[in-house]
Amino acid sequence: MNTILIDTNIISYILKTATRAKQYAPLLAGNRLAISFATVAELFEWSEI
């Protein structure tokens, strides 16, 4: 199992169930997913808007 660092835009696609998320599903499946502190901060900022 590999660890994949996911950027904010990919998480956004997944959370919003955008059709673009399906493109990434095969690449992410079966791997440990990680996000950076910067991505966490961006998601908190996004949730307040």
pLDDT in tens, 9-42: 999 888 888 888 899 999 999 999 999 999 999 9
Is the model's pTM score more than 0.85? no
Using an 8 Å Cβ cutoff, are 36 and 5 in contact?
yes
Domain boundaries, the chain: 3-48
Q: Cβ distance 20 to 13 under 8 Å? A: yes
Residue 34: predicted pLDDT:
96
